């Protein structure tokens, strides 16, 4: 049974479906303009989207799966097949470690279970991949804290702001009230994008024209506490892990959030662009070292040939993957499910 979020069962119902009211700390909202939507409106529910999602996931991953799925068609179980599998996994950006791990495990299984035909070997590979990716699967639980504070970081253009927009819509449809903090104090356009979107979608956005992203984040949490808001999402400016002063700034945001509310941020998330393959893995390592990530969101898995990077993440730095994105629409962001992912990859 598919569900977008998990709700904490014992939690009393605190969610408000009312749009949050304006507060003094809120910057004046810009007039809605048709440009730069964070996420297109959706009319369909998550449950209805499920069959669609599988088809789209499959289509999205088709470039990654192209070399993998054809391998087994009428193949003989010999060294040539293993060599081709190795090349296909490396080309999918699974990385040396995960590729070797899967190959060794597969060869062992073929021997132990005396597998003789290609279909059985493919099924064995599927099982091994699901086992490898399963530890990354973790439901996102709502209602654990009031407010639940999420800090969202990533390199420029990874899809942070768009993802925040999609998540906010999903959360609202689960009865959660949401407040956003425009922690990107560098780019006025980024701030405005969030403000416009917030106004259009009845989501309060805390913003400051310039200054300290930590201060904006702190204000956002205080405002959410005062108003009984369920979820605070802190958008941060894109940065490269090599920009050490900017990484220090992120650490400060995290520290200051903890001062504003004990235990915050409850989720320290990194958004990575699935198209960037092994580079995304390097980002996971660097941001995790700096911030101790609690989760990942992998965007742009549509049309990429590098979707195998998720196997590399599982082997090298297994930070949970809460959501994956395969397009611009709200329903194109869904919880990561290891079985679904492997099914879409290997068919
Ligand atoms: N195809 C595709 N595009 C996506 C996906 N997620 C986000 N995008 C697009 O990626 C682009 C960058 O997204 P943003 O949300 O602005 O990225 P950002 O990380 O906030 O960027 P900065 O503010 O510059 O750091 C936008 O054009 C999004 O529509 C996805 O899953 N698939």
pLDDT confidence of residue 186:
79
Supply the DSSP string of 321-346, one letter for each residue: EEEEE-SSBGGGEEE--HHHHHHHHH
99 alpha carbon to ligand 1 midpoint, in Å? 29
Query: 60: annotated binding-site residue?
Result: no
116 alpha carbon to ligand 1 midpoint, in Å? 45
pLDDT confidence of residue 38:
57
302 lines ligand 1 (CB under 6 A): yes
The ligand 1 atom nearest the CA atom of 274: 31
Q: How far apart are CA 256 and CA 87, in angstroms?
A: 46
Q: How far apart are CA 17 and CA 183, in angstroms?
A: 25
- What is the pLDDT tens value at each position of the chain, 347 positions in all? 347 888 876 444 333 333 333 322 223 233 333 334 555 544 445 555 666 889 999 999 999 998 888 888 888 899 999 999 999 999 999 999 999 999 999 999 999 999 999 999 999 999 999 999 999 999 999 999 999 999 999 999 999 999 999 999 999 999 999 999 998 877 888 888 888 888 888 899 998 877 789 999 999 999 999 999 999 999 999 999 999 999 999 999 999 999 999 999 999 999 999 999 999 999 999 999 999 999 999 999 998 999 999 999 999 999 999 999 999 999 899 999 999 999 999 88
Query: 301: annotated binding-site residue?
Result: yes
Find all residues with CB under 8 Å of 63, minimum gap 6, and list them: 303, 304, 305, 307
Query: CB of 292 within 8 A of CB of 247?
Result: no
Question: Predicted ipTM?
Answer: 0.97
pLDDT confidence of residue 192:
87
Domains of the chain: 55-136 (1.20.120.140), 141-338 (3.40.50.300)
288 alpha carbon to ligand 1 midpoint, in Å? 21
pLDDT confidence of residue 3:
75
CA 271 to chain centroid, in Å, comes to 6
214 alpha carbon to ligand 1 midpoint, in Å? 23
Query: CB of 319 within 8 A of CB of 296?
Result: yes
């Amino acid at each position: 049974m598919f569900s977008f979020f998990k709700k904490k069962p014992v939690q009393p119902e605190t969610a408000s479906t009312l749009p949050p009211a304006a507060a003094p700390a809120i910057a004046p909202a810009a007039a809605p303009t048709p440009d730069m939507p964070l996420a297109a409106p959706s009319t369909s529910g998550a449950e209805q989207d499920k069959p669609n999602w599988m088809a789209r996931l499959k289509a999205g991953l088709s470039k990654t799966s192209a070399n993998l799925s054809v391998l087994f068609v009428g193949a003989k179980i010999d060294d040539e097949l293993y060599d081709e599998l190795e090349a296909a996994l490396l080309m999918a950006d699974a990385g040396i470690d995960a590729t070797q791990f899967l190959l060794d495990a597969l060869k062992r299984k073929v021997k132990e279970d005396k597998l003789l035909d290609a279909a059985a070997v493919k099924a064995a590979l599927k099982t091994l991949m699901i086992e490898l990716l399963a530890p990354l699967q973790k439901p996102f639980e709502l209602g654990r804290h009031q407010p639940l504070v999420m800090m969202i970081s990533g390199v420029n253009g990874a899809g942070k702001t768009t993802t925040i927009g999609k998540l906010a819509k999903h959360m609202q449809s689960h009865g959660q009230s949401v407040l956003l903090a425009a922690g990107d104090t560098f780019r006025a356009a980024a701030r405005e994008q969030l403000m416009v979107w917030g106004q259009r979608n009845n989501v309060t956005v805390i913003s400051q024209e310039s200054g300290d992203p930590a201060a904006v984040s702190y204000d956002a949490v205080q405002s959410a506490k005062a108003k009984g808001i369920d979820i605070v999402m802190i958008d941060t400016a894109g940065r490269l892990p090599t920009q050490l002063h900017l990484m220090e700034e992120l650490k400060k945001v995290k520290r200051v959030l903890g001062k504003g509310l004990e235990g915050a941020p409850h989720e320290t998330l990194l958004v990575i662009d699935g198209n960037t393959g092994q580079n995304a893995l390097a980002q996971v390592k660097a941001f995790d070292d700096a911030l101790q990530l609690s989760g990942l969101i992998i965007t742009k898995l549509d049309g990429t040939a590098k979707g195998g990077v998720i196997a590399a993440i599982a082997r090298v730095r297994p930070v949970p993957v809460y959501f994956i994105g395969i397009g611009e629409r709200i329903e194109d962001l869904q919880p990561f499910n290891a079985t679904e992912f492997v099914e879409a990859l290997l068919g």
